Amino acid sequence: MMMPSWIQEACLDDSAFSLAYDLVSAPHRALIKTALARQDALHPAVTCRTWRRWRELDADVALIESKQPVDAALVIFDQQTSCAGLAAALMPVLNAGVPEVLALYAGEQDQEVPAALLTTLELAGQERVAVLPPERIRRFTAELCRSSDSCAILILGETTSCLDASCEAASGCRIWRASPVKRAAVYLSGHGRDVNLEALAFAWPATDFGVAGVVEAALPSHRFRLVGKELGDLPAGREMICFAPDCNVEALLPRYAGVFGPGHEACMVWPDLNFERFFVRRTAWRSITPSETEEL
């Protein structure tokens, strides 16, 4: 991926990452590290990025297959993106072995990227990050889809307007959009190990939480609302996620898209985001024994 000079000029330098890292507390950095480690286990790095194989399907038919990662990937995010969602989108791209990955923050040139997001990028090893207004990102997505044989574009937060309309029709462009996590549920048992509400406020700053159970301290922000005392009082929905004690996770799973226990406050799983999205497969069929073409 050839980056134009105006993109290179918009890339953040090391000082921006250092400052962000210092602004994120050690406990919060530990949350991000846990999230990245879980993603690394879920999507372990590929050991062979490019391969080609020949298989005999039956006595006289051979299948030839090749597989390689897309040429480049863009991860587009904004201030509405959570560090949990960013970690869950970023690690599959990096571990798939995509040779060129660029993270683009949609904002004005002088706008600071939230420290939690920059720290997530740095801890994941992605330090190629540029800050650009949406219209310039849109211009770059069009150029990338036009010039690349294959690419992937990941859309997080409220950045749909950053994607040029021509990308939808580009044959080599794979587009993925993160589903918004606007609401989540939290259950606190009041005994044993519960999820940490303050950690949730850090990891999901744009999400509203319905909290049920035993609440012994003040809720951390206006985004947290007490909804009752029992599990059954929790709001539920297939688009929602839930945080609860480990002993309740399995029972709650049918009611939510994902359920996470204590220590996983910054974790997320995007079910429709996997390695196949970042690989190009090609297939050929042929006869093993050459034969004359039959005439009908």
- In sequence order, what are the beta bridge partners of 282? 66
Q: Average per-residue pLDDT in the chain?
A: 91
Average pLDDT over residues 103-130: 93
Instruction: Extract the tokens encoding 38.
Output: 């879980």
Given the structure tokens 């040429």, which residue do they identify? Answer: 71
Q: Pick the range with the lowest mean pLDDT from 154-168, 215-229, 258-272.
A: 154-168
Confidence tier at 70 by pLDDT (50, 70, 90): very high
* HEC readout, the chain: CCCCHHHHCCECCHHHHHHHHHHCCHHHHHHHHHHHHHHHHHCCCCCCCCEEEEEEEECCEEEEEEEEECCEEEEEECCCCCHHHHHHHHHHHHHCCCCEEEEEEECCCCCCCCHHHHHHHHHHCCCCEEEECHHHHHHHHHHHHHHCCCEEEEECCCCHHHCCCHHHHCCCEEEEECCCCCEEEEEECCCCCCCCHHHHHHHCCCCEEEEEECCCCCCCCCCEEEEECCHHHCCCEEEEEEECCHHHHHHHHHHEEEEECCCCCCCCCCCCCCHHHHEEEEEEEEECCCCCCCCC
CA distance 207 to 184: 7
Per residue in 170-185, pLDDT tens?
Answer: 878 999 999 999 999 9
What is the DSSP pairing of strand 173-177 with strand 51-58?
A: unpaired
Burial of 86 (0-12, 13-18, 19+ CB in 10 A): buried
Percent of the chain with pLDDT over 90: 69
Instruction: Specify the pLDDT at position 177.
Output: 94
- Residue 287 pLDDT > 60, yes or no? yes
pLDDT given at position 51? 75
CB 106 within 8 A of CB 133: yes
- pLDDT of 171: 78
Q: Which residue has the tokens 């090749």?
A: 66
Least confident of 22-26, 151-155, 192-196: 192-196
Band of residue 66 on the pLDDT scale cut at 50, 70, 90? confident
Long-range contacts (CB closer than 8 Å, 24 or more residues apart) made by 222-227: 224/186, 224/197
Tell me the pLDDT band of 270, cut-offs 50, 70 and 90: very high
Does the structure show a pLDDT above 70 at 296? no
pLDDT band of 28, cuts 50, 70, 90: very high
pLDDT of residue 253: 95
Q: Which amino acid, one-letter code, is at 224?
A: F
Task: Say if residue 222's pLDDT is above 90.
Answer: yes
Tell me which residue of 195, 176, 175, 177 sits closest to 185, measured CA to CA.
Answer: 195
Burial class (CB in 10 A: 0-12, 13-18, 19+), 79: middle
Cα separation of 230 and 228, whole Å? Answer: 6
Asked if the model's pLDDT at residue 294 lies above 50, the reply is no
The whole-angstrom separation of Cα 230 and Cα 78 is 36
CA-closest candidate to residue 152, choices 49, 39, 277:
277
Q: With contact defined as beta carbons under 8 Å apart, do 116 and 64 qualify?
A: no
Q: Is the pLDDT of residue 49 over 80?
A: no
